[in-house]
Structure 1
Amino acid sequence: MDCNYKLIIALFFIVTNSVLGQERPNILWITIEDTSPQFIGAYGNTEARTPVIDQLSKEGVRFTNAFSTGTVCSPSRSAIITGARTYEMGTGHHRSAFPIPDYIHGFPYYMKKQGYYVTNNRKTDYNVANVKEFTQETWHESSNRAGWWGRKGSEPFFAVFNFAESHQSRTMTNSYEWYLKHVLEHLPKENQIAEDAFTMPPFYRDSPQMRKQFARVYNSIKLTDLRIGKLLQRLEKDNLRQNTIIIFYADHGEGIPRGKTNGINLGYRVPFIIWFPEKFKHLSPWGTGGVVSDELITFEDLAPSMVSLVGGRVPDYMNGRILMGNKRNTPTDYVILSSDRADNGNDLVRSITDGTYMYSRNYMPFVPEMRYLNYVEIAEITQQMRDDLQNDLLNPLQRKLFSPRSPEVLFNIEEDIWETNNLIDSKGTRKILKTMRTQLDEKLIKSHDIHFLPEYEIEKISKNTTPYEYRMGAEYPFKQIYSAASISGKKGESVIQKQIELLSSKNKIVRYWASMGLMSQEKGLLDKYQTQLINFLEDDYEPVSINMATILFQKYNDVIAKKKLIAYCKSKDSHLVLMTINNLLYVDYKEPFIETVQFVNALTTHKRFVKDACKDFLHITGVTNY
């Protein structure tokens, strides 16, 4: 009797769970690499060939204001998987892998607790320390074999599939021969996009050589579309489509020069579509059937939305909005975005957008949009662009990519999709500019943006705590630091005087930002301060000393500054070496450092990005034996 009773109870729970599993939606995520909506048919590009993606849009919901919270994969994916801001966690620098608090989990961890079978096929790139343990805790399976087919019975699933066919390696970086073998040969002739069958973005020279390279973008995305179609066919074959919500998006902007890694709309904005089966259409607050929404969405919203959708409690550290379901949050008026170091190229950009305008603040504006990144530099399209620059074949807009950036840019991203007209000095946008500046400042101050520390410093503090926890302590007086950083890139006598005054601050990070700001000042205005600048060459905080040495060598060919830069190139600390060589990439007279950089390039003790910076330096100085 006792055994029969237990058996009945067990069967009851099995049947109940099975029914509940059928009533809860499966969720399929289709993530593609490095793609902007400008190259998708559903977003108005009649030259694109993306029928599978376009059909999802026609039957579902297409979002016109969806943004990645980073402009390169690992920061973007750290925000996706945790729901926490990169500039709070310290995960904004590409593949830095600093520790995060133990209580921050990958969001599928919470979906598992709600009875979902969760899989990832296959890319992770979460940019956190102990990533193997983090990944194991997050997923039931994460591999190239993972999928809904591994579940037991009819339990609901959450399955992620990552498609690399549109990655930058295909669209520009790998050789043209590699592209032919791995992309074009996989496309039937009738599906191939010819080199004369599309419109070139205006910031590229419209030449046969550039068209040959740029056709790679369209064909790589076409191959991606075909592969997505095969996945959806398998979903249909397994009779699961009618129970599955499909979410499609790219992990950040297009993998082309000026796109990916740049803190502008072309780096942030992504295609984003949600498809609901008939039985779950009630879960869409936007409707279905070709609906277009201009609601602002960022990747911070994905984790809390998924946890809430399956009935879980959203943890406090998740900053984003819940997009759907009965706990949906009110849409926001603006979102904050960020772009930091990518590969060997240091940077710090913070952006704000309301969907119509995007304002970006460049805190290191001496670095151009076409900054030196080895993964970009080895591409034939980049080499063609630099050849065209040298041969004076570019128009003013195209040449501008190679010049120092404005410290502030404001673009109307609805009317100016290629961001060619900076409205920062326009009288008609003064009000929106003032509002966006204020909102951005307030948000960064509230968040205590940890990336206003040099990465060298974040590495040190990570030995004892996490950047996420450190940023809110008394040791990080962010308002004071931000006050110094907020004038970086601005020019003029009064700014120089303030920056020189800040060089005497007791706070080393304030001094760092004062020195960073002086990097953008013109020689004519600095001349009368030369003696004072020399006095700060011996600052005991290495990042300050590196910047001051760079300034004094670039402006005055100072011998002591040169010796210091050579010494820092030979430092045992990879961050200091990378910072020094990155600075040297933008000085006019590079010859005195060639031998030293060759020496550093031959070492095997530094992080990979140091070697990449060395390669860039040696390439542009004409050295071939590296």
Structure 2
Amino acid sequence: MRYFFIVLALLVVDCLAGRSAMAQQESTRLPNILWLTSEDHGPHMGCYGDSLARTPHVDQLAKKGMRFRMAWSVVPVCAPARTAIITGVYPSASGALHMRSMVPWPEEQLLFPAYLRKAGYYTTNNSKEDYNVPKAVPPWDKSGANAHWKNRKRGQPFFAVFNSTKSHESQIRKRPHQAITNPADVRIPKYHPETPEVRQDWAQYYDQVSAADADAGIHLLELAEAGLAEETIVFYYADHGSGMPRNKRWAGNTGLQVPFVVYFPEKYRHLAPADYRAGGVSDRLISFVDLAPTILSLANIQPPAYMQGHAFAGPYTAPAPQYLFGVRGRMDERPDHVRSVTDGRYVYLRNYLLHLPHGQYLEYQFQTPTTVAWKTLFDQGKLNPAQSAMWVTPREPEELYDLTSDPDEVVNLALDPAHAETIARFRKVLFDQNVRVRDVCYLPEEEMHRRSKLTTPWGLGHRPETFALEKTIEAADVAASKVSKIEELTKFLSDTESGVRYWGLIGLLIRQQRGEPIPWPAVLPLMNDESPSVQIVAAQLAVLAGSSAEQAQGLALLKTLATPEKSDVLTSISALTAIEALGDRGQSLWDDLLLMNTANLKLPDQRFSPYIPRLLLNLKELKERRTSRK
């Protein structure tokens, strides 16, 4: 009998030890991670306090989990925003800022799901990659319509992405549409005019956000029915702000703020952010560059040192940042250059190409009825200052908005001397950020590619011996300033750094538009510069301010640079934009350019294929409008 009790005791101890080992194994098991994403919508959801929204599934997820009050997408348009996510670095640092571009990326710096695959995860992406960098090491076990976590090996942890396209910009303007939201009920932002088109588009937008929410509900139900709801960390977010004009593509809060909801089941609560609580709201500022390091942290992988974001969950959680940053480069066929920053209350925008309006003509954006109606009213002189700001030139170099009193971002406090201290703070924060991340996109796109042929744009930005980044940023700040003098800009024209010479010319172009005299003798030699970007602006100034012979020389140079066979596609985009900006002064080039054969363009990547045809189409319409005026 004594022997029996000894054996029984040993069995109990062994059983308890087994249970303890199982419990320890269960607590250290890598979590499943599910991303539910959607396109082109801001925080217009019930969980963010929008009473017009019908988003029950994400609202319920937020009730179980936590939402972040302020999350920014880095870029207010999809492809570079996704590139920020997949690389963990700012697209302005990788060179991948410009819409549907393609830049080489260091092969040793993997797209973050590839690190998960190495750690044993099954990684899937169900809809849309759309990255501006190549996939040297495949990040996904499966990508495409058939990609699903169900196809993993038994017991294998998964990282799965399901993206809904229901709320995309293209769906806002799709007709016919079976309306659910009453257009009379929508709130029209102060920057939009009160028209039937605007009300219709905003109402349809709300309907499409509901459709995206329904897609999220399908995937959440599927997870629950598989018994995995308490085994999986869930994220929901959109890829940037609303698809409405002056939301999408706008580098302020309405273009960059996204809904962001997370749910951590009890089993993985130890991995959650420190302020996580059911139904809670986090005031931590988060950015798309934070996603890669955060997911790696959740998988117990230390984020690589090159990643520029801050993990907000898991064992490698980093201190919360004080600021979020936004960037805007070329949007489809139109070059632009804007940087922005927020501390959660104020939003500061730094505009650089002041001679161009915020609302440059984009063929795709002008398919939305709101855009057409809005621009038509501006042309007719029927808009107030807040509604006109999208279209006027010159742009203000700086904009500052207080989101607590001005969520529509229409009252520019940068014009108020009372906010000089705040402006000075944001200027320094932005400059320090651009230097810290090595913002190589202070070079024009074509110049960045030209100078990084033997490396990558990332590599160029990190080689101060070959690219004077700080000096280039300083020149850009001077060029896009109201107080800089012509003499200061003229000195830039003889600098050894092509970025400095470019911004010196841009500063002169801005001032020429204001009617200031141009130091033409200093500009003339730059039509023979080694940099095509510098040549383009110098030629533009020649047409605007030179003698008859110099104007002819400038037009001839622009024609050559606008022809891809004689230059390259990216240079052609910039040259065609410059020719169009000349208006009637460039009309002698129109007929020849319109004969350009775009069917066999030598493209650096197919992602660039729409842009030259769109610019030529607009040039054709410009010619037709001029002919009709005669």
Please give the TM-score of this superposition, normalised by the length of structure 1: 0.89
8 Å contact from structure 1 (residues 22, 155) kept in 2: no
Alignment map for 1:368-383 (pairs within 5 Å): 368-383=357-372
> Are positions 1:480 and 2:471 aligned together?
yes
Q: How far has the Cα of 1:421 moved from its partner?
A: 0.8
Change (3 A) 1:195 1:596: farther
- How many residues are paired up? 593
Change (3 A) 1:598 1:380: farther
Report which stretch shifted further, 591-600 or 25-34.
Answer: 591-600
> Are positions 1:394 and 2:357 aligned together?
no
Partner residue of 2:231 out of 232, 240, 243 = 243
2:159 is aligned to: 158
Change (3 A) 1:22 1:117: farther
Change (3 A) 1:165 1:363: same
2:588 is aligned to: 592
Q: How far has the Cα of 1:540 moved from its partner?
A: 4.3
Distance across 1 between alignment mates of 2:529 and 2:488: 18
1:34 is aligned to: 40
1:171 is aligned to: 172
Q: How far has the Cα of 1:623 moved from its partner?
A: 6.0
Partner residue of 2:456 out of 432, 456, 466 = 466
Amino acid at match of 1:121: N
Q: How far has the Cα of 1:106 moved from its partner?
A: 1.6
Q: How far has the Cα of 1:407 moved from its partner?
A: 1.3
Amino acid at match of 1:622: E
Report which stretch shifted further, 554-563 or 480-489.
Answer: 554-563
**Structure 1 unmatched ranges of 5 or more:** 1-11
Q: How far has the Cα of 1:609 moved from its partner?
A: 1.2
2:612 is aligned to: 610
Q: How far has the Cα of 1:549 moved from its partner?
A: 2.1
8 Å contact from structure 1 (residues 48, 218) kept in 2: yes
Change (3 A) 1:128 1:624: farther
1:74 is aligned to: 79
Amino acid at match of 2:469: F
Amino acid at match of 2:91: T
Change (3 A) 1:81 1:197: same
2:482 is aligned to: 491
8 Å contact from structure 2 (residues 308, 437) kept in 1: no
Task: Detail structure 1 runs of 4+ shifted over 6 Å in the superposition.
Answer: 15-18
Partner residue of 1:504 out of 494, 498, 515 = 494
Q: How far has the Cα of 1:591 moved from its partner?
A: 3.5
2:431 is aligned to: 441
Amino acid at match of 1:434: A
Change (3 A) 1:384 1:620: farther
Alignment map for 1:34-113 (pairs within 5 Å): 34-37=40-43, 39-113=44-118
**1:308-336: CA deviations, max 9, x gaps?**
11112221111211211233211121133
Report which stretch shifted further, 559-568 or 460-469.
Answer: 559-568
Structure index of larger Rg: 2
Report which stretch shifted further, 432-441 or 579-588.
Answer: 579-588
2:553 is aligned to: 560
Distance across 2 between alignment mates of 1:453 and 1:517: 15
Distance across 1 between alignment mates of 2:118 and 2:564: 48
Distance across 1 between alignment mates of 2:42 and 2:74: 14
Distance across 1 between alignment mates of 2:626 and 2:123: 49
Alignment map for 1:116-135 (pairs within 5 Å): 116-129=121-134, 131=135, 133-134=136-137
Distance across 2 between alignment mates of 1:239 and 1:390: 58
Report which stretch shifted further, 391-400 or 69-78.
Answer: 391-400
**1:91-135: CA deviations, max 9, x gaps?**
111222111111111212222233222211121112113x3x44x
Amino acid at match of 1:215: A
> Are positions 1:544 and 2:534 aligned together?
yes
- Any idea what SS the aligned residue of 1:359 has? strand
Change (3 A) 1:64 1:584: farther
Distance across 1 between alignment mates of 2:504 and 2:246: 28
- Any idea what SS the aligned residue of 1:519 has? helix
8 Å contact from structure 2 (residues 53, 206) kept in 1: yes
2:576 is aligned to: 581
Partner residue of 1:619 out of 595, 605, 621 = 621
8 Å contact from structure 1 (residues 96, 127) kept in 2: yes
Amino acid at match of 1:301: D
8 Å contact from structure 2 (residues 508, 518) kept in 1: no
1:255 is aligned to: 243
Report which stretch shifted further, 500-509 or 146-155.
Answer: 500-509
Change (3 A) 1:304 1:223: same
**1:37-80: CA deviations, max 9, x gaps?**
1x222222211211212222222111111111212111111111
Amino acid at match of 2:387: Q
- Any idea what SS the aligned residue of 1:486 has? helix
- Any idea what SS the aligned residue of 1:155 has? coil
Partner residue of 2:119 out of 114, 122, 130 = 114
Q: How far has the Cα of 1:536 moved from its partner?
A: 4.1
Q: How far has the Cα of 1:531 moved from its partner?
A: 5.0
Amino acid at match of 2:384: N
2:11 is aligned to: none
- Any idea what SS the aligned residue of 1:201 has? coil
**Structure 2 unmatched ranges of 5 or more:** 1-17, 603-608
- Any idea what SS the aligned residue of 1:622 has? helix
1:7 is aligned to: none
Amino acid at match of 1:396: P
8 Å contact from structure 2 (residues 452, 459) kept in 1: no
- Any idea what SS the aligned residue of 1:29 has? strand
8 Å contact from structure 2 (residues 55, 210) kept in 1: yes
- Any idea what SS the aligned residue of 2:414 has? coil
Amino acid at match of 2:474: S
- Any idea what SS the aligned residue of 1:487 has? helix
Partner residue of 2:422 out of 411, 414, 432 = 432
Change (3 A) 1:307 1:532: closer
8 Å contact from structure 1 (residues 523, 555) kept in 2: no
- Any idea what SS the aligned residue of 1:34 has? coil
Amino acid at match of 2:577: N
Distance across 2 between alignment mates of 1:541 and 1:468: 20
Distance across 2 between alignment mates of 1:423 and 1:542: 37
Amino acid at match of 2:574: M
Change (3 A) 1:595 1:479: same
Change (3 A) 1:584 1:506: same
Q: How far has the Cα of 1:555 moved from its partner?
A: 5.2
Report which stretch shifted further, 552-561 or 294-303.
Answer: 552-561
Report which stretch shifted further, 455-464 or 367-376.
Answer: 455-464
8 Å contact from structure 1 (residues 18, 154) kept in 2: no
